[in-house]
Amino acid sequence: MRMSRLFGKTLREAPADADVASHQLLLRAGYIRPLSTGIFSNLPLGQRVMTKIEAIIRAEMDAIGGQEMTMPVVHPASLWQETGRWYAIGSELTRFKDRADRDMVLAMTHEEVVTDLARREINSYRQLPMLIYQIQTKWRDEPRARGGLIRVREFTMKDSYSLDIDEAGLDEQYRAHYQAYFNIYHRCGLPVIAVASDTGMMGGKLAHEYMYLTPIGEDTLMVCEATGYAANREVARFMKPAAEPESLLPLEKIATPNTKTIDALAEFLSIPKAKTAKAVFMVATLIENDAKVERFVFVVIRGDMDVNEVKLKNALSATDLRPATDDEIRAIGAVPGYGSPVGVKNCLIVVDDAVPTSPNLVAGANDDGYHYLNVNSGRDYQPNIVADVALARAGDRTPDGAGILQEGRGVEVGNIFKLGTRYSAAMGATFLDASGKAQPIIMGSYGIGVGRLLACLAEEYHDDFGLMLPISIAPYQVHLVVLPGDNTTQVAETLYAELHAAGIEVLFDDRDERAGVKFNDADLIGVPLRLTISAKSLEKGGAEFKRRSEKEAHILSLDSVIQTVQSEITALQAALAAKVTQVEYRV
């Protein structure tokens, strides 16, 4: 491709609203352009990279038995109503009516559609297992689009779906994806880790996210290098310090003036925070009979811990949570700052699983300026739910107690879910087993955001001058620059033709621009190898050659350019291929 004919141009400065390096550089290098908030066009350079990423994804999906297909972007709402997600998902799901006044949605994911296809196409266990995938446009009306391609509203995603007769089959396909995803990221050159994650709106019973570790990440991760434990903080587990066993003592009300916080209470009574019971008041939105209802939730957790709202939401099967107002707190018989689960009414009491084994805690007395001593779950109040709802923090021990958790930040570049029968049971997608009995299809769902992957690669591979992309996904393999001089244009044209004939992907800067502009653009665009034809290079014997990742350049004789470039491309590709190794599967 000649740069004189390339659609799109480089920018000297990034727009003021481009807040991360990948966004700035992809804009400046002419890879993408914004249309509206969270909506981007891929210019030819960006599209070439996206196409290469998609080719790697296709190769790895095909290698584990995937069959590519395409599903619609517009769905009838009836499918989403069958699974209940029409009611559970908020405004990020775009709903509209067609000209016949039928409710429709724009696809943010395709579980409903693939399940509908499965119930139409799958009849017998003999047709399973099956793996299908697509690379398709998605739409999520994201309320906080940011970071360029990091968080967008319209995006391209690879989503695959496994269909099996039993859990063993699902486990096999899940593990195949677990490794295939590492292969994809390593072939692209992106370092990632797999962490246990929340199943969220997808449902199911197990999920992993693939995280690119970076300070700009929105997700907080809890990891331990010593044990290999890694989880999104939303679901991270940890070993909770055990309470000393004690005989249960009688309930006793005492005056505790000006002690509305755990810190103040612990200081006033000269006790550790682990001997207190923290009250957290929330209102949960639940789905009951396909309708949304709000229920008051009284959460009890030990004072040395904090509530993890995602764990709480999952324990309640809630679609949303919000803090309760003071009026709502008083309506259940509690008092803000002195709340107690003892004697409250018309609420769900959720107790962290460390509380029942922590005897004689100090809790509020639902009376201003007073607390109870020796409050015990199961004796003084009855919880509706006992679950792990505690938030993991840096310094906590790993679940097995063998290591210490550290905190990091990451961007999610992919996810895999064991859906089980979450969708097939709801939509009646069944098969006849060997005995002729109908059974629900066991499903898995697996996604990769292609644009976000590009953004993370730009975050990983850049310097102060621009992008420096890996050979496997760079838009071109060689950037050929010609500078004015006697015979330079003719030599460059001949070399361009020879490179092209050798099957080498070349971006040829044949523009009538100053040397500084051309070199700056070459650095900005980030093609791995650069050849320069100038009067000076010809005087020295040929073409100047350098890797984008290195400062030093050297001269190649013109008759050795093709062979040298091919060798360099092979070496760069081999270095990436060496990263594709078997990764230990961790639940």
pLDDT band, residue 288 (cuts 50/70/90): confident
CA 379/CA 384 separation, integer angstroms: 13
Q: What's the whole-number mean pLDDT along residues 19-34?
A: 96
What the block records as the tokens of 533 is 């034809």
Alpha-carbon torsion angle 457, 463, 467, 473, nearest 10: -40
* Ramachandran sector of residue 125 (left: φ over 0; alpha: ψ -120 to 50; beta: rest): alpha
Cis peptide before 528 (omega within 30 of 0): no
CB 254 within 8 A of CB 373: yes
Specify the DSSP class assigned to residue 126: G
Instruction: Give the length of the chain.
Output: 587
DSSP state string for 339-382: --STT--SSEEEEETTSTTS-SEEEE-SSTTEEEEEE-BTTTB-
> Which residue in the block uniquely carries the two structure tokens 């880790």?
193
By three-state DSSP, how is residue 57 classified? helix
**Statement: residue 276 has pLDDT above 70:** yes
The pLDDT value recorded for residue 290 is 77
By three-state DSSP, how is residue 296 classified? strand
- The 10 Å CB-count burial string (b at 16+, else e) for 21-40 is bbbbbbbbbbbbebeeebeb
CA 83/CA 111 separation, integer angstroms: 9
Least confident of 205-214, 277-286, 553-562: 205-214
Q: What's the whole-number mean pLDDT along residues 495-514?
A: 97
Task: For the chain, state the CA radius of gyration.
Answer: 29
CA 339/CA 330 separation, integer angstroms: 9
Burial bucket for residue 503 (CB in 10 Å: 0-12, 13-18, 19+):
exposed
Q: Which domains are present in the chain?
A: 42-70+106-236+406-459 (3.30.930.10), 252-387 (3.90.960.10), 476-577 (3.40.50.800)
pLDDT band, residue 203 (cuts 50/70/90): low
What the block records as the tokens of 132 is 């299908």
The pLDDT value recorded for residue 319 is 87
Q: What's the whole-number mean pLDDT along residues 517-543?
A: 96
Quote the pTM value: 0.90
The pLDDT value recorded for residue 16 is 87
**Statement: residue 279 has pLDDT above 90:** yes
Q: What's the whole-number mean pLDDT along residues 398-424?
A: 95
Least confident of 115-119, 326-330, 483-487: 483-487
Among residues 258, 494, 207, 254, the alpha carbon closest in space to that of 374 is found at 254
What is the number of other CB atoms lying within 10 angstroms of the CB of residue 558?
Answer: 17
The pLDDT value recorded for residue 201 is 63
Q: Average model confidence (pLDDT) for the chain?
A: 95
Per-residue pLDDT reduced to its tens digit, 385-394: 999 999 999 9
